[in-house]
Amino acid sequence: MKTRSLVALAAEPDAMAGLVQASRPFRWGAASAAYQVEGSTTADNKGRSIWDVYLDDHSLAGPGVSGAVAINFYDRDQYLEDIALFKALGLNSYRFSISWPRILPDGQGPVNPKAIAHYRRFITDLKAAGIEPMLTLYHWDMPAQLAAAGGWSDPKSIDWFQRYAQVVFANFSDLVDTYVLINEPTVERATKQLAEDRLNGVSGDMQIIPDQAHLADALKTFNHILLASAAAKESFSRQGYAGQIGLALPLFPTLTSDDASEADKQAALLADGILNRWFLDAMYHGAYPEDVLELARKLDLDTGIEEGDAARIGAARFDYLGINYYAPLFVRRPAQASTIYAAQMYVPDTSNAAFNGPVRPDQFKALLERIRLDYGNPPVVITENGAGFPDEDQLVDGKVEDLRRCDYLVTHIEAMKSAMADGADVRGYHVWSSHDNLEWLSGYGSRFGMIHVDFDTQKRTPKLSFQVYARMIKGETVDTSACSTGR
C-alpha cells in the first residue's frame, strides 16, 4: 500500500453537536429520493443524470418507463398537497434528496441558481408545516458527464463530491442541519452493475454481493465513497457549520440455512465483511476488516486502497449512523463455484417475502443490538425501513388496504423500540417511502408508499399503513390487529 497525501484533517467536530441532537424530539419521518419522485427532468436547466441515460435513452426499466413525470414532486402545487398529507400523518421529519445534476448541471460547475431556489423554497415549505428536513446529497443520480468519466470508480470522484458538498453546505446550512451525504453505496453498485449488464445484453438478477470478477471495483468504489464522505465532513467542520452529518448504509444481517456447510458459512462471513463491516469498521474502528483485505491480497485485486484511507474515514467521526434496513440476506456458496471466493444471495422458500427479501423484524432488532455492542453505541437514525409486496396496493372503492406493509411497519417499529429499551441510541425512524414512486430498474410496478399514487392522474390516496403509522407517531399502542381489513 502507498501513502495517500492527505488534505489537513479538520479540528474535532463541535462538541455540542451530540447534546443538541440528544435534546431533540425523536424524528418520526418518511423518505424519498429526487429521481424517484421529482419528474421534470429537464426543468430549470437541470443537467442529465446517469438515470436519465439508463431509462430514457436505453429503456432499461422497460419500454416507456421514464422519470420524466414520476410523481410530479418537483411541481410546487403538487408538493404542497403532499406536505399537507405529511402534516396530517404527523411527520416531524422528512428525508429527501436533492439532485446533483440540478445543482451542478455538468457535475462540477457552475452552480444553477434556479435549482438552489427551488430546494430552498421546498425546505421552507416543509419547515412551515413543522417538518424538519433531512437532506440527502446523493441518492444515485450521478451527473451523466461524471458517470461517463468513471463515476465512483475514479479517484477524482472524491474531489467532485467534495466540491458539490461545499456548494450544498454554502447554500442550505441556514435552513438545514441534518445531512445524509451518500445513500446505500452497496445497493447502488449492484443496481448499476445490473443496468450495465442489461446495456450489454446480459440478463440476470441483481447481485448485492459483488462476485469475484467485480470485487476489486466494488472495494475501490466503496473506498472512494467513504473518502469522499470523510472529505465532505472535514470541510463542513472546518468551515464552522453546525449540524449532523452521516451516511445511509443498507445493512444486511447475513444468514445461512440450518444445514449450511462450512463453505456456506465462510461465504456469509465474507459477504458480511464486504457489505457491512467494510463500512462500519472503517467508520468506527478506523480500519478495514482484515478478512476482506486478506481476500483482496490473495486474489491480487487492484483496489487502489492506500495506507491511511480507513484511518482517515474513522477520523472523520460522522455524527450519526444512518441505517436502511429491509431484510436479512441469506447467503451460500453456489455448489458449482470454482472461484476462490463465491457468495450468492438467495431467498429461502418462505410465504412472507417482500420485494426486498424475507420479512424478519427479529433481524432488525439483532442488527441494532450489534451496532450497540460492536460499534460503541453510536447515535443511529433509521433512514429507511419499509416494504412492498407483489399484488398488494390495489385501489378498491377509494381505499388501499395494504395489510402486509401495515404489519411490516408495526412489527419493525416494535423491534426498534425493543432494541431502544435495551439501550440502542436510536434518534429517528423514516419509512421508505412516503409515496409509491419510481423503483429504479423495476419501474412503477413495485410500490413502497404509504400514499398510493395513480401514476396516470397523480391522484394521492393515503393507505391503511398511513393511518396506522399516524397512530403510532401519536404514541398510541398499536398491534398488528390494526392491520386487518375493514378496520
97 binds ligand GCO (CB under 6 A): no
184 binds ligand GCO (CB under 6 A): yes
Which CB atom, from 36 or from 434, has the smaller least distance to ligand GCO?
36
Which CB atom, from 318 or from 448, has the smaller least distance to ligand GCO?
448
35 binds ligand GCO (CB under 6 A): no
DSSP letter assigned to residue 45: G
x-marked contacts with ligand GCO along 277-306 as a string, rule CB under 6 A: ------------------------------
Which residues are known catalytic residues?
184, 384
Long-range contacts of 58-62 (CB under 8 A, 24+ apart): 58/198, 58/199, 60/195, 60/198, 60/199, 60/441, 61/440, 61/441, 61/442, 61/443, 62/443
Identify residue 264 by its one-letter amino acid code. Answer: D
Under rule CB under 6 A, how many of the chain's residues touch ligand GCO?
11
Least Å distance, CB 136 to ligand GCO, is 9
What are the grid coordinates assigned to 451, written together? 400514499
- Give the alpha-carbon dihedral of 372, 96, 221, 358, to 10 degrees: 60
CA–CA dist 430, 413 (Å, integer) = 10
152 binds ligand GCO (CB under 6 A): no
In the list 28, 432, 466, 469, the residue contacting ligand GCO (rule: CB under 6 A) is 432
Q: Please check whether residue 219 is in contact with residue 296, taking contact to mean a CB–CB distance below 8 angstroms.
A: yes
Which CB atom, from 96 or from 284, has the smaller least distance to ligand GCO?
96
Q: Which stretch binds ligand GCO (CB under 6 A): 72-80, 94-102, 179-187, 331-339?
A: 179-187
Q: Which stretch binds ligand GCO (CB under 6 A): 42-50, 182-190, 311-319, 411-419?
A: 182-190
Least Å distance, CB 440 to ligand GCO, is 6
DSSP 218-271: HHHHHHHHHHHHHHHHHHHHHTT--SEEEEEEE---EE--TT--HHHHHHHHHH
183 binds ligand GCO (CB under 6 A): yes
382 binds ligand GCO (CB under 6 A): no
Nearest to 473 by CA among 428, 426, 442: 428
Contacts of 350 (CB under 8 A, 6+ apart): 358
Least Å distance, CB 298 to ligand GCO, is 31
Angle at 401 between CA 400 and CA 404, to 5 degrees: 130
**Peptide bond between residue 110 and the one before it cis (omega within 30 degrees of 0):** yes
Q: What residues from 189 to 218 belong to the interface with ligand GCO (CB under 6 A)?
A: none
Tally the residues of the chain: 487
Which CB atom, from 38 or from 184, has the smaller least distance to ligand GCO?
184
Which CB atom, from 269 or from 381, has the smaller least distance to ligand GCO?
381
Pairing relationship of beta strands 321-325 and 244-250 according to DSSP bridges? parallel
In the list 17, 33, 381, 464, the residue contacting ligand GCO (rule: CB under 6 A) is 33
Q: What residues from 337 to 356 belong to the interface with ligand GCO (CB under 6 A)?
A: 356
Burial group, residue 87, by CB count within 10 angstroms (0-12, 13-18, 19+)? middle
Q: Which stretch binds ligand GCO (CB under 6 A): 120-128, 183-191, 194-202, 357-365?
A: 183-191
Which residue lies nearest ligand GCO, judged by its C-beta?
A: 184
Least Å distance, CB 96 to ligand GCO, is 12
384 binds ligand GCO (CB under 6 A): yes
DSSP letter assigned to residue 87: H
324 binds ligand GCO (CB under 6 A): yes
Phi then psi dihedrals of residue 339, to 5 deg: -80, 160
In the list 439, 443, 467, 473, the residue contacting ligand GCO (rule: CB under 6 A) is 439
Identify residue 103 by its one-letter amino acid code. Answer: I
448 binds ligand GCO (CB under 6 A): yes
Strand order in the sheet with 254-255: 254-255, 329-332, 344-346
Which CB atom, from 106 or from 439, has the smaller least distance to ligand GCO?
439
Which CB atom, from 72 or from 183, has the smaller least distance to ligand GCO?
183
Which CB atom, from 384 or from 425, has the smaller least distance to ligand GCO?
384
Least Å distance, CB 364 to ligand GCO, is 14
Question: 470454482: which residue's cell?
Answer: 338
465 binds ligand GCO (CB under 6 A): no
CA–CA dist 175, 168 (Å, integer) = 11
Least Å distance, CB 190 to ligand GCO, is 10
Nearest to 371 by CA among 412, 323, 334: 323
Q: Which residues bind ligand GCO (CB under 6 A)?
A: 33, 36, 183-184, 187, 324, 356, 384, 432, 439, 448
